[in-house]
Amino acid sequence: MALNPGIPISDTDISCTSDFAQAVLNAIQSTQQFFLSTQTSAGYWSAYLEADSTLVADYIMLARYIGHESPVLEQKAVRRLLNTQLDDGGWNIYYNGPSELNATVKCAYALQLAGMSSSHEALIRAKDCILRHGGLAKVNSYTRFYMGLFGSYPWKKLVSIPPELMFLPTSFYFNIYEISSWSRAILVPMSIIWSHRPIKTPPPTVDCGSWWLPKNQEANGKNLRNTISWKTFFFTMDAILKRSHRFYSPFTRRESLRRAERWMLEHMSRGGGLAAIYPAMLNSIIALDCLGYDHDHPTFQHALDEFMKLMVEEDDVLWFQPCFSPVWDTAMVTASLERSGMPSDHPAIQRSAEWLINQEIGIRGDWQVKNPYGPASGWVFEFENDFYADTDDSAMVLMALHGSRIPLDARRKASMKRGVEWVLSMQSSDGGWGAFDVDNSKEILNMVPFADHNALLDPSTADVTARILEMLGVFGYDESFSPASRAVSFLRSQQEKDGAWYGRWGVNYIYGTWQVITGLVRIGVSPADPCIQRGVEWLLKHQNSDGGWGETVATYDDPSLRGQGDSTPSQTAWALMGLMYGGAIRQDAVKRGIQYLLENQMPDGSWKEEHFTGTGFPRVFYLRYTFYRNYFPLMALGFYRSLMRL
């Protein structure tokens, strides 16, 4: 793919020795070979996607709940939990992070479910950590919910998620399509579970009564009775729903459960499990059990099989991926190969492009509720998740396809045409794009009690909007195009006072700032624009002494830490691309950043990266994409090669 961002480079005077230039070329070739050797025979790439230990804990809970525990697998899960316990007795939610209450409670509770005595040294340390963090009264609604399945948290104190939500029409201010796609897929099966309020008898080793602080026995931590706010209103409504639970009309309850079941089964019908993401898939299995499905029933067995595909077994431990990432990885790898100089008709690119074209979604998913006129198109993140095409994956796939050439090229062009039309149809009224829906941004809904996973909504974000602008620029659009002009205005409005942009889907301000600078320049905004130069200055200011860039996940809790952290290959690559798109190729910082990548490359063309640089739900759930460390550096090196004409 030719990179022509409008950056003047013909008079560049940066020094680049022949040895340095050759080192760059060698590094590019080495990483290209790495990807050629890891491509599947089907043409796609899919690297491991890693998260925290709560997924292992939830597996133990699920297996115990449905009675499918395997002694071998359970012991591997226990060993994984013990191996990841911190010195202070807790568990964290990202690499090198501090202990986190919900993760600690989930992991310790899973160990009890697996038969570990409360007198075990690991659980004694865990209890002390839980109490230091405020005890069980401080855990979120989802942790409470799973404990309620075994009677360790009273159902009457759990957040209300009545299945009668299914009756609310789409014209109503609050309905299931006003919350994010992932929350929708998690909460619909939870409403079935909440209605049945099951309690399975736990093993005798389950004893978490000592995890409460003496002065805080009630589940609802904060007292909101004397305040007037939307949060007070929603908590009052929650209390009313709890008290009226037993008085629901039997007919109304049966019909609401039928609607929730139909919705869930429809969304499970096209393979991949419910929404193809771990928490929704897990909840769907429990919901099917509550609805009375025999465990040999094809629907139940399919749901369980799809869930278990996420398990990764190693020698003596196991862990779970939160989902698969083949479309995202394949689009990113393909683009990185194209942008680093591989011919667009190379067999590997042809195979990946063919595979991506075949992944185009041919049905109208949940997004059609708020976008009734968009064409049936788009791409998903996973293998099979047809109801949830997303704009970020689609934009990346479209850029990868744009840079490829395949036999019978009319298929590629037709697919790209539909895809661009679909992405444009998904623009929100504020000029930006969310990931899965249009105008999914009613902030008042963040006050509902079950919004404490910090991702109930899917509003327009700077990083997704900027990637779509980048895609539009690749396809020849410029700022005179009305949707692009509106998006540029949105991005200008999102810039922080210090010049950075927030990263919703990657950690964090380095990710957001790189993507916005790239998107703005690709759509035709001058690199000399003050908005872009403020972003460039912010990136320059945060380079580490080793030449790289890094930013800790802790910035989501404490924004004052933005731009600070151990250098990583992926974040270094993002910063470098932001600087180069921002016209800073002459800055010594760019050469130092390239040198950092060269010095840290492994013999096989890959890089090491232990830090989490992907974001699932800010402040709650983070990800380690194990190919981020490789395809983003390849993109950065390829862009440097192009600008320097190496």
Q: Are strands 49-50 and 311-313 parallel, antiparallel or unpaired?
A: unpaired
- Which residues neighbour 444 within 8 Å (Cβ) at sequence distance 6 or greater? 230
CB 514 within 8 A of CB 520: no
CB 495 within 8 A of CB 538: no
Catalytic residue among 390, 392, 452, 458: 392
Query: Residue 545: phi, psi to the nearest 5?
Result: -65, -25
Cβ neighbourhood burial of 197 (10 Å; 0-12, 13-18, 19+): middle
CA distance 182 to 280: 8
Q: Which amino acid, residue 305?
A: D
Between the CA of residue 475 and those of 2, 4, 401, 525, what are the distances in Å?
A: 12, 12, 11, 16
CB 1 within 8 A of CB 338: yes
CB 623 within 8 A of CB 615: yes
CA distance 493 to 324: 34
CB 44 within 8 A of CB 330: yes
Write down the residue that tokens 């950056």 correspond to: 7
Could you confirm whether 588 is annotated as catalytic? no
Residues facing residue 311 across a β-bridge = 320
Write down the residue that tokens 């929730």 correspond to: 260
Residues recognised as catalytic: 392
